[in-house]
Amino acid sequence: MSLEEVYTPFLSSRVAARKLMSFWDKTTPASVKPHPQPIDLGAGMPNEGLFPIESVHLNVVDHPFQHTEYKFRSSRLHRDASSGAASSDTVVAADGSPRNERELVSQKFQNGSIVDMWRYEPENPGAIPIYTGFQYSNTRGLDPMLDFCYKFVEYANPPSYKDWDITFANGSSDSLFKVFETLADASVTVLVEEFSFSPTISNITATGAVPIPIKVSVTGDPEEQGIDVEFLSNLLENWSESQYSHLSKPRLLYTIPTGQNPTGMTLSLEKRKQIYALAETHNFLIVEDDPYGYLRFPTYDPENPSYNPYQAGEYTVDQYRKEVLSTSFLSLDTSGRVIRCETFSKVFFPGLRFSFIVGNKFLISKILDFGDVSTRAASGVSQMMVNNVIQKWAPNFTSPQEAWLSWVMKVASQYTHRRNILYEALQATDAFKDGLFTMVPVTAGMFAALQIRFEKFPNIKDHAQAMQQLFYILIEEGVKVVLGVNMAVCKKFSSERSHFMRVTYAHAASDEEMQEAAKRLSKGILRLLATSSAA
Amino acid sequence: MSLEEVYTPFLSSRVAARKLMSFWDKTTPASVKPHPQPIDLGAGMPNEGLFPIESVHLNVVDHPFQHTEYKFRSSRLHRDASSGAASSDTVVAADGSPRNERELVSQKFQNGSIVDMWRYEPENPGAIPIYTGFQYSNTRGLDPMLDFCYKFVEYANPPSYKDWDITFANGSSDSLFKVFETLADASVTVLVEEFSFSPTISNITATGAVPIPIKVSVTGDPEEQGIDVEFLSNLLENWSESQYSHLSKPRLLYTIPTGQNPTGMTLSLEKRKQIYALAETHNFLIVEDDPYGYLRFPTYDPENPSYNPYQAGEYTVDQYRKEVLSTSFLSLDTSGRVIRCETFSKVFFPGLRFSFIVGNKFLISKILDFGDVSTRAASGVSQMMVNNVIQKWAPNFTSPQEAWLSWVMKVASQYTHRRNILYEALQATDAFKDGLFTMVPVTAGMFAALQIRFEKFPNIKDHAQAMQQLFYILIEEGVKVVLGVNMAVCKKFSSERSHFMRVTYAHAASDEEMQEAAKRLSKGILRLLATSSAA
């Protein structure tokens, strides 16, 4: 018998529902001849040049306890280290003489090979000592990093109620998994933007819950972008008459409100208020997934294609924080029904697998209980890396939070530049000039939706098939994209709105690469036209 | 209404079962006066002096793309980097000139601030480039680290069948969570050593499964140590007549076979064979949790208290591997029914949150599917840290696996020394000389069980109450321990075998600290005797 035959009876009842819904098109017909040097506008990975750390140097010991000053460290310090705070108690050293720990700690870190950021200094209580970051810690997170995040939430996205809390997780995927495992099961219906990040849809279905699509407007009008509030309102008002009447009324809304993936749409403040009001009326919770929220920029201006307010020095950190950033649902939340998921993946780097969840104290305590019996703490190495880099920057700013946001602005500036370069290059193409496609204006994030204007393709009847055909043509032309339809919660529901592809300017190696990609996109779209005309 | 009242209705049906079972005694009566400078023999944390990295130095850039040679990096490299392997394809640089990637990569890493271990070199394909470790990766893990682990399993614990596989996880707690979520639900019964690591019992109960205790022998006889095989065999043979007849026949056995926590017991090879035979007969899977397996040492010898075969240079790496290490259930496994969980927490450091799971290809694929919809990959920073440190050591050995094991032996040597120091100190105490307690001989791991010999306490009838009383006395005397009863799967079942406390020599700051702890333990036990005699 095969392993599968023998061991399938041992699988738990929940295994069947656990399967990643991938938006990658894995099967390419043999007839398609891939380009030898494809350019990837598909993968939503930040360019490595956006990572704040260029190199890492480790001092490796040859044998245990070779560490500088090690013998002077005391168990008292070990224990206090777990809170990132040092004790000033007198302790007894190996030779029996009493020593003051402050002195010992600084002695220890006078080792030249250790740079400031890894030093424990009384005047910099925000830093996490290396032994703390390397040691076991509690599930919630290391205190200095937690303290930073609490203050950062108050600074950037202050909730409108008091009893909120935070816990860390191992990246947004883990955050969302924990949130949905805590709030969803087979009896639950979850509202999701009709096009969304497929792995999160898998997180939802893995709990047994049913995700149902909400119509979204993929448009340039900043007031109209994103969730169709009227559609949502009507659906909820008339639930029992809807096609979903056999399902329980939605208890959760999952949304990526800013720089939505894959549409690039950003919800206006007015829409956020309306959606929050609906949540209050129909009593559902809002799960706000905001990995791209800090990557804001103005709408692309063909008259001034290289306009970059960051480079132009038009934003102070406070302006950016108060006027440029979108208002989080958290800041509209007065009753504790919003759960916000933030991650350091896009603004520090993804390899950290480090994120945090903000919500009301009660729900966070339940998510924390789940963490206690599953992953436990996020990597202490990752927590220490982020925390201590921010603490290294902090002295030049009024607060560590401002220091962090000013780095984030530098990253946002790069995204502004890259969006500008790609849009300018796309506008210069023949296919664009012929009106065969449009770029939906985006004001945040890593993604743009390129919509094919099928009214210009008179001979094409089956748009879905044509999009798939275009996808293969682009593989031959050498540019990788993601088809919107592959990120649809329900292909049938979204069929009329699936005539777009997701492209990202996040990962390209250079401006030149994006310019070359634009040419290839145009060539591919013109080929689609030619093929269809020939037909 | 309170948050709890408002939001409890939103909780999923699975939340209730998710609560960490802690073995810490949190409530101390006001009458107990804690010692001002307690020594902690309770916390199972490795001493930070055992961590192979003394310091970390990060080069932080001031702004994105400031990175050395960055402009030469191509998307082709990005893609190949994800496998840790470089491409030798010619790529186009920013200035349009063709460049060879090998040259670019070495150019890039000729930056003096990057030490060898972080360099990508063709002659060292095992190293993970920094950009790969910092970037998104697949759930299973980064290829160079996976490759190391595959070969390490073949080297140290080779399975006896072909179709086995590996996946990484975020520390053993996460490994075990994923294993039990994949194999257990409310219909499943899990066999567990009667005293075990409480958080894992929480992992089991969180799935809805029922853990039931197996009698263990806490004794010095190496052939008798651990799971009582006769008890287990009888239980399985007569399941329908047992007190558990209302439960399904066990589908899983969870065991910590070497240096068991909390008893310190190690299963003999003969017992392992008998248990594996029972697994074949009664068709259950064996979940082998082996965080301590590499920390082997000889039984303590009062005649030669400081005997340390590692320091004496008596073991070559091959002898250690072939003769000193216990045989993993994996190496007895011919049918793919063993799932082995390994972690780098005890032999590298816990803050990594990095572990791996070995099992048959089918079950690993299901665990991987679960990872895809939950945590995704383990921290790339952690994976890179472990991988590149091992690769740095590798050139001095016949293989990276040998290099790693020779570091592990240095750690095991320290545990041998610490076990010797604590046991020698305990033997020198009055309480030991008076025969009031014994140390159960251990040959592996971080823990020792100290058994109170209640036959020497004639006035004590209630042993459970006396152990609790002793625990409080020891808080006053200034030594923290863990009561065995607090790690019992079922207190009632184990009441006659709960007259021990778990102490660890893993975390003490120094030999002196352990010697002082031994004195305090003795003093506390003598106080218990005096109190009971007075009564």
Of the candidates B70, B113, B177, the beta carbon closest to that of A373 is on: B177
- Residue B373 and residue A19: Cβ atoms within 8 Å? yes
Tokens of A156: 């950037």
pLDDT at B535: 62
Q: Which residue has the tokens 């830093």?
A: A127
Of all residues in chain B, the percent with pLDDT exceeding 70 is 89
Q: Which two tokens stand for residue B201?
A: 């019992």
Residues 201-260 of A with CB under 8 A from B: 202-203, 206-207, 251
Predicted local distance difference test score (pLDDT) of residue A23: 80
Residues of B whose CB is below 8 A from A379: 170, 351-354, 378-379, 381-382
Could you tell me if B343 lies within 8 Å of chain A, comparing CB atoms? no
Q: Is A455 exposed, middle or buried (0-12, 13-18, 19+ CB in 10 A)?
A: exposed
CB contact under 8 A, A37 and B76: yes
List the one residue out of B348, B403, B404 whose CA is nearest residue B52.
Answer: B348
CB contact, 8 Å: A313 with chain B?
no
CATH class of A130-399: alpha beta
Distances (CA, A) of B173 to A113, A215, B203: 34, 40, 8
Residue in A125, A118, A167 with CA at minimum distance from that of residue A144: A125
- Neighbouring CB atoms inside 10 A of B59's CB total 17
User: How many other CB atoms are found less than 10 A from the CB of residue A247?
Assistant: 16
- Residue B70 contacts A where some CB pair is shorter than 8 Å: yes
> Touching check for B32 and chain A: CB below 8 Å?
no
**Nearest to B230, CA basis, from B172, B274, B279:** B274
CB contact under 8 A, A78 and B509: yes
Please give the pLDDT value at position B98. 35
With CB atoms and an 8 Å threshold, state whether A373 touches B130.
no
pTM of the model: 0.92
Q: How far apart are CA B36 and CA B38, in angstroms?
A: 6
What's the rounded mean pLDDT across residues B80-88?
31
- The fraction of chain A above a pLDDT of 90, given in percent, is 80
Residue B484 vs residues B266, B450, B471: alpha-carbon distances, Å: 17, 9, 11
Residue pair B197/B13 in contact by the 8 Å Cβ criterion: no
Q: What is the pLDDT of residues B11-63, one digit of tens each?
A: 999 999 999 988 877 788 999 999 999 999 999 999 988 998 877 777 788 88
User: pLDDT tens digits, residue range A74-88?
Assistant: 333 333 333 333 332
- Is the confidence at residue A138, as pLDDT, over 90? yes
Cβ <8 Å between A65 and B50:
yes
A491 to chain B, any CB pair closer than 8 A? The answer is no
Question: Has domain B413-534 been given CATH number 3.30.300.30?
Answer: no
**Closest to A368 measured CA to CA, from A182, A227, A197:** A182
Q: What is the DSSP string of A355-382?
A: EEEEEEHHHHHHHHHHHHTTT-SPPHHH
- Taking residues A60-81, what's their average pLDDT? 54
Predicted confidence at residue B120, as pLDDT, reads 37
Q: Which of B113, B174, B384 lies at the smallest CB-CB distance from A374?
A: B174
Look at A366 and B15 and tell me if their CB atoms are within 8 Å.
Answer: yes
Q: Does B266 touch chain A (CB under 8 A)?
A: no
B529 touches A at CB < 8 Å: no
* Contact between chains at A50 and B64 (C-beta distance less than 8 A): yes
- Locate the DSSP E strands across A13-117: 39-40, 53-60, 90-92, 98-100
Chain A residues inside the 8 Å CB shell of B138:
none
* Pick from B8, B75, B349: CB nearest A513: B75
In tens, the pLDDT along A310-334 reads: 999 999 999 999 999 999 999 999 9
Asked if A66 is an interface residue toward chain B (Cβ–Cβ < 8 A), one would say yes
Tell me: the pLDDT tens digits for A92-132? 333 333 333 323 333 333 322 233 334 333 346 788 888 88
Q: Which residues of B touch A71 (CB under 8 A)?
A: 510
The structural domains of chain A, with segments of one domain joined by +, span 62-83+97-111, 130-399, 413-534
Among left, alpha and beta (phi > 0; psi -120 to 50; other), residue B259 is left
Mutate to test the interface with A, among B50, B135, B139, B365 (most CBs of A within 10 A): B135
Place of tokens 């649902």: A329
Q: What's the rounded mean pLDDT across residues A166-177?
A: 98
Q: For A106, phi and psi rounded to 5 degrees?
A: -70, -40
- B381–A376: do the CB atoms touch at under 8 Å? no
d(Cα B159, Cα A436) in Å, to the nearest integer?
59
Reduced to 3 states (helix: H, G, I; strand: E, B; else coil), residue A476 is helix
- pLDDT tens-digit profile of B383-418? 999 998 898 889 899 999 999 999 999 999 999 999
Distance CA A532, CA A517 (A): 23
**Does B338 lie at the interface with A, CB-CB under 8 angstroms?**
no
Chain B touched by A1 (CB under 8 Å): no
At A8, the pLDDT band (50, 70, 90 cuts) reads very high
CB atoms near residue B534 (< 10 Å): 7
Q: What is the mean pLDDT of residues A352-373?
A: 98
Residue A181 amino acid letter: E
Residue A437, classed as helix, strand or coil, is strand
* Closest Cα in chain A, distance from residue B19 (Å): 6
B17: burial class by Cβ within 10 Å (0-12, 13-18, 19+)? middle
Q: Which stretches of B227-301 are DSSP H helices?
A: 229-237, 269-282
Token output for A217: 């407007």
- Interchain CB contact of A302 with B (< 8 Å): no
Of B59, B77, B384, the CB nearest to A54: B59
Residue B402 CB contacts under 8 Å (≥ 6 apart), including other chains: B155, B317
**B368-392 b/e with 16+ CB inside 10 Å = b?**
bbbbbbbbbbbbbbbbbbbbbbbbb
A15, A55, A349: residue with CB nearest B182:
A15
Assess contact for B429 and B518: CB atoms under 8 A.
yes
Residue A400 in contact with residue A390, Cβ under 8 Å? yes
Cβ-count burial A39-64 (b if 16+ within 10 Å, e if not): bbbbbbbbbbbbbbbbbbbbbbbeeb
Please tell me the least confidently modeled range out of A477-491, B19-33, B472-486: B19-33
Measured at the alpha carbon of residue A299, what is the angle toward residues A295 and A300, in degrees to the nearest 5?
Answer: 105
Query: Inter-chain contact B117–A58, Cβ cutoff 8 Å?
Result: yes
What does the pLDDT average to over A341-354?
97
- Residue numbers of A between 177 and 206 with CB closer than 8 Å to B: 177, 181-185, 187-188, 199, 202-203, 206
- Per-residue pLDDT at B116 exceeds 50: no
B198-250: pLDDT as tens digits: 999 999 999 999 999 999 999 999 999 999 999 999 999 999 999 999 999 99
Residue A68's pLDDT band (boundaries 50, 70, 90)? low
pLDDT for res B191: 98
Find tokens 């893993």 and name the residue: B506
| Inter-CA distances, A181 with A36, B6, B205, Å | 43, 18, 16
Q: Beta-carbon neighbour count of residue B535 at 10 Å? A: 7
First to last CA, chain B: 51
| Model pLDDT for residues A234-249, shown as the tens digit of each residue | 999 999 999 999 999 9
Mean pLDDT value of segment B160-175: 98
Find the largest Cα–Cα distance for chain A: 92
B508: nearest CB among A75, A170, A187: A75
Shortest CA distance from A95: residue in chain B? B512
Q: What's the mean pLDDT in A19-44? A: 90
pLDDT bin (cut points 50, 70, 90) of residue B326 is very high
> Would you tell me which residues 502-521 of chain B have a C-beta closer than 8 angstroms to some C-beta of chain A?
507-510, 512-513
- Number of Cβ pairs closer than 8 Å across A and B? 397
Q: Minimal Cα distance from A382: which residue of B?
A: B381
Mapping DSSP to helix (H, G, I), strand (E, B) and coil, where does residue B322 land?
A: helix
How distant is the Cα of B455 from the closest Cα of chain A, in angstroms? 35
User: Comparing C-alpha atoms, which of B54, B383, B64 is closest to residue A54?
Assistant: B64
C-alpha distances in angstroms, B201 versus B193, B214, B315? 10, 13, 36
In whole angstroms, give the CA distance from residue A221 to residue A326: 16
Q: How far is CA B269 from CA A317, B325, B448, in A?
A: 65, 11, 21
- CB neighbour class for B214 (10 Å; exposed up to 12, middle 13-18, buried from 19): buried
Residues in B closer than 8 angstroms to A14, CB to CB, are 181, 185
Best of A109, A134, A182, A415 to disrupt the B interface by mutation (most B CBs within 10 Å)? A134
CB-closest option in B19, B50, B351 to A133? B351
Residues of A in Cβ contact (< 8 Å) with B175 = none
- What are the tokens at A184? 């969803």
Question: In angstroms, rounded to a whole number, what is the distance separating the alpha carbons of residues A513 and A515?
Answer: 5
Which residue of B4, B8, B53, B58 is the best one to mutate when testing the A interface, meaning the one whose CB has the most A CBs within 10 A? B58
Sign of CA dihedral A208, A214, A219, A225: negative
Q: CATH topology of B130-399 equal to that of B413-534?
A: no
From CA B533, how far away is CA A139, in angstroms rounded? 44
Residues 356-395 of A with CB under 8 A from B: 360-363, 366, 369-370, 372-382, 384-385, 388-389, 392-393
Joined tokens for residue A269: 């403040």
Neighbours of B162 (CB within 10 A): 8
**Cβ contacts of B14 on chain A, cutoff 8 Å:** 181, 185
| Predicted local distance difference test score (pLDDT) of residue B68 | 60
State the average pLDDT over residues B321-344: 98
A61, A111, A203 ranked by CB distance to B52: nearest: A61
Predicted pLDDT of residue A58: 77
What local confidence, expressed as pLDDT, does residue B124 receive? 63
Dihedral sign for Cα A136, A141, A147, A152, please: positive
| Average pLDDT, rounded, for chain A | 89
Q: How many other CB atoms are found less than 10 A from the CB of residue A440?
A: 18
> Who has greater pLDDT, A535 or A415?
A415
B92 contacts on A by Cβ (under 8 Å) = 512
Residue with tokens 């999160």: A200
**What pLDDT is stored for residue A124 in this prediction?**
64
Higher pLDDT residue, B421 or B133?
Answer: B421
* CB proximity under 8 Å: B 8-27 to A: 8, 10-15, 18-20
The ipTM, to two decimals, is 0.91
Whether B52 sits inside 8 A of A60 (CB atoms) is: yes
Range of weakest confidence among A360-364, A507-511, B454-458: A507-511
What is the distance in angstroms between the Cα of B140 and the nearest Cα belonging to chain A?
13
